[in-house]
């Protein structure tokens, strides 16, 4: 089955960076991919990218290239997403979600982390 | 990028009545291996999304059989045979045949 527990809400100023964590439990962390999906207030879902926790390989949506870094710490079964040069449009709930492959369905999802970018 | 278009934007349904949501993709979601990479998620108010259906028509364990998925190629449908109060929320389709993974804009289901 499995569970994903994310870090708490963040408030950041424009230009700053944010790092969100996603701790996995109940399954073998390195046998799945971890995706990040974001949802701006009142909006739909937007895929950000994935990391393969076993190899550290990543794949990012083009719009985030250069600003996004996904990492993992296999010793504590935790994935991280860092977004730099924040702008107000980055204000969103960021979800981590597990998949079997980089191209398969997401199940389960984390509870979400609200990142607010405001001066 | 593959564009996923959902209709309608919203639905108001009397309990016990059926509901249907359409999802159209700008490219075929049929993989050469024979699987179709189309999924459905439900996001209840204030909650994270959760998976309802994978590869068009496979219900996730625990999803009531009043939910069914159908379609092929670029046209897909999620049907609820008899809507219940717990079905309210926003339904999203998603494709994974090509990166970037993309979602439909969502269909909000409300109870009359």
pLDDT tens per residue across all 119 residues of chain A = 899 999 999 999 999 999 999 999 999 999 999 999 999 999 999 999 999 999 999 999 999 999 999 999 999 999 999 999 999 999 999 999 999 988 899 999 999 999 999 99
- Coil, strand or helix at B47: coil
State how far the Cα of A77 lies from the Cα of A79, in Å rounded to an integer.
Answer: 7
User: What is the reported pLDDT for A46?
Assistant: 98
The number of angstroms, rounded, from the C-alpha of B112 to the middle of its chain's C-alpha atoms is 21
* Segment B3-9 mean pLDDT: 98
pLDDT digits (tens, 9 = 90+) for B58-108: 999 999 999 999 999 999 999 999 999 999 999 999 999 999 999 999 999
Size of interface A-B (CB pairs under 8 A): 54
Residue of chain B whose Cα is closest to the Cα of A35? B101
In this complex, do B48 and A104 lie within 8 Å of one another by their Cβ atoms?
no
Nearest CA among B108, B69, B83, B77 for reference residue B13: B83
Cβ-defined contact of B96 to A104 (cutoff 8 Å): yes
d(CA A54, CA A73): 10
> What is the least distance, in Å, from the CA of A58 to any CA of chain B?
12
Kindly tell me the sign of the dihedral angle through the C-alpha atoms of B24, B95, A23, B63.
positive
CA separation for the pair B25, B103 (Å, rounded) = 10
Best of A4, A34, A44, A94 to substitute, by most chain B Cβ atoms within 10 angstroms, is: A44
């Amino acid at each position: 089955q499995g569970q994903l527990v994310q870090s708490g809400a963040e408030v950041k100023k424009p230009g700053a960076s944010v790092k969100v964590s996603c701790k996995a439990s109940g399954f073998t962390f390195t046998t799945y991919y971890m995706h990040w999906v974001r949802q701006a207030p009142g909006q739909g879902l937007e895929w950000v990218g994935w990391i393969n926790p076993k190899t550290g390989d990543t794949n990012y949506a083009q719009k985030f290239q250069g600003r996004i870094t996904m990492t993992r710490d296999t010793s504590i079964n935790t994935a991280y997403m860092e977004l730099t040069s924040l702008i107000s449009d980055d204000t969103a709930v960021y979800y981590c979600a597990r998949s079997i492959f980089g191209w398969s369905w997401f199940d389960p999802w984390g509870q979400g982390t609200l990142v607010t970018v405001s001066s | 990028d593959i564009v996923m278009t959902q209709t309608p934007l919203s639905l108001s349904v009397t309990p016990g009545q059926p509901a249907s949501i359409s999802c159209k993709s700008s490219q075929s979601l049929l993989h050469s291996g024979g699987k179709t990479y189309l999924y459905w998620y439900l996001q209840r108010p204030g909650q994270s999304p959760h998976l309802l259906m994978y590869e068009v028509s496979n219900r996730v364990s625990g999803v009531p059989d009043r939910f069914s998925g159908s379609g092929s190629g670029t046209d897909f449908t999620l049907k609820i045979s008899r809507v219940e109060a717990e079905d309210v929320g926003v339904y999203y389709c998603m494709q994974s045949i090509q990166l970037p993974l993309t979602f439909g804009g969502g269909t909000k289901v409300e109870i009359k």
